[in-house]
DNA sequence: GGAGGCCTACTCGGATACTGATTGTCCGAGTGTTCGAGG
DNA sequence: CCTCGAACACTCGGACAATCAGTATCCGAGTAGGCCTCC
């Protein structure tokens, strides 16, 4: 069960965009961390499709946050890149077993499926409760100059 | 972020093994749900390597639970098949950024990594708190005859 | 000197290859059972 | 009738393909800014 690499990139990029405010091209964000520019661009496109970012074409263009950092949760970013479906997939194999009912809604009744979903719900709840602003606060408490350094590097 | 199909199979099989007690060959478990026998066998081998199941070769052989159902958590099964590492992988991309320290332990200090790990911890906690015996109780409360039906189908 | 238009450079966006993990299959090693022969 | 032994059938176990999601790259569409020309 591996999460895509793009999630890490997108989270850092979103935090940086929250610090700059102005549009930043994907190529510049990629240069910050030595990432493949075109592939990072692809990930950011997913954020645009999810409504988290806005893209500006042409010179002086790039990506910027579509909402205030306090209104963007970590879950929003994860869902934008990994999709809304659960990691655990109930394929209703019980339907083929003894006493199985082909018409039953096993994802919503099977005890195993419900237990797995409850666990994922706890995971989602934690991610939804943490916004970019919260993370920014944590970072700046530990490294006050981080935002300025990133702003300088991205807007130079 | 997809979890392997084998997790669902293994969870159902473990529950069934808890109900039978005696060794059951993989081919018979596979026949219950119309699963590919050899592939299911492969998944069960992982459970053996993790110490959750014991395998008995030869006729009358098969797999059986190595511990009482109350001592096997859903997390044990998931970890046995998906591995112990987190879904979110911190690759320390901050080390290449402005003010980055190549010697720093970013997985343990980066605010983003910590937030993601906290969420996964909540997920693990839920899974660890739920044993096969708990799930069995839920199933039998809803469908009292399930264990008997499975026992009959597997030991026939 | 100012205004208008063209040209360039830069951006995103989607279509297109490549890689590794997941899924699926096969055959060999080992073991308990069973059947038969011999005492 | 009991004991011993060999052949057999059945099991797991790991080695070997196929398929698919994730990874990475490239080129085209569109736009803002800059520059040159003309008035």
Residue by residue, DSSP assigns chain B as ----HHHHHHHHHHHHHHHH-S-B-HHHHHHHHT--HHHHHHHHHHHHHTTSEEEE-STT-EEEESS-GGG-BHHHHHHHHH-SS-SS----GGGGSTT--TTS-HHHH-HHHHHHHHHHHHHHHHHHT-BHHHHHHHHHHH-TTHHHHHHHHHH-
What is the per-residue pLDDT across B80-130, written as a single tens digit (0 to 9) for each?
999 999 999 999 999 999 988 989 999 999 999 999 999 999 999 999 999
Supply the pLDDT for residue A100.
Answer: 85
Could A112 and B7 be called an inter-chain contact, meaning their C-beta atoms sit closer than 8 Å?
no
Supply the pLDDT for residue A156.
Answer: 73
Closest C-alpha among B52, A7, A138 to residue B43: B52
What secondary structure, in 3-state letters, does B102-146 show?
CCCCHHHHCHHHHHHHHHHHHHHHHHHCCEHHHHHHHHHHHCCCH
pLDDT range class, residue A22, cuts 50, 70, 90: very high
> Does residue B156 register a pLDDT over 80?
no
Task: Give chain B's mean pLDDT.
Answer: 96
What is the per-residue pLDDT across A99-154, written as a single tens digit (0 to 9) for each?
889 999 999 999 999 999 999 999 999 999 999 999 999 999 999 999 999 999 99
Give the nucleotide at minimum CA-to-C1' distance from A62.
C11
Question: Between the CA of A135 and the C1' of C20, what is the distance in angstroms?
Answer: 33
List of chain A residues whose C-beta atoms are within 8 Å of the C-beta of residue B97: 32-33, 150, 153
Closest C-alpha among A36, A23, A27, A109 to residue A63: A23
Supply the pLDDT for residue B100.
Answer: 84
Question: Between the CA of A19 and the C1' of C12, what is the distance in angstroms?
Answer: 22
Distance CA B23, CA A60 (A): 68
Question: Nearest CA to CA, how far is B144 from chain A (Å)?
Answer: 12
Question: Nearest CA to CA, how far is B129 from chain A (Å)?
Answer: 10
Query: What percentage of residues in chain A have a pLDDT greater than 90?
Result: 95
Question: Nearest CA to CA, how far is B59 from chain A (Å)?
Answer: 24
User: Could you tell me which chain B residue has the CA closest to the CA of A137?
Assistant: B111
> Does residue B30 register a pLDDT over 80?
yes
pLDDT range class, residue A91, cuts 50, 70, 90: very high
Nearest to A12 among B2, B93, B130 (CB): B93
Domains observed in chain A: 5-85+131-155 (1.10.10.10)
Section A57-80 average pLDDT:
96
Nearest to A87 among B1, B150, B152 (CB): B1
């Amino acid at each position: 069960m591996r999460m895509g690499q793009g999630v890490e990139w997108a989270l850092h990029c979103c935090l940086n965009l929250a610090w700059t405010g102005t549009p930043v091209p994907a190529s510049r964000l990629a240069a910050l961390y030595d990432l493949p520019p075109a592939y990072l661009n692809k990930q950011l496109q997913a954020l645009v499709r999810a409504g988290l970012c806005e893209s500006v074409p042409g010179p002086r263009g790039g990506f910027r946050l579509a909402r205030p950092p306090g209104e963007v949760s970590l879950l929003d970013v994860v869902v934008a890149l990994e999709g809304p479906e659960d990691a655990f997939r109930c394929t209703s194999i019980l339907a083929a077993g003894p006493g199985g009912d082909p018409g039953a809604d096993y994802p919503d009744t099977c005890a195993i499926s419900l237990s797995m979903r409850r666990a994922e719900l706890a995971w989602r709840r934690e991610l939804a409760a943490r916004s970019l602003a919260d993370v920014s606060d944590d970072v700046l408490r530990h490294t006050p100059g981080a935002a300025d350094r990133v702003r300088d590097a991205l807007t130079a």
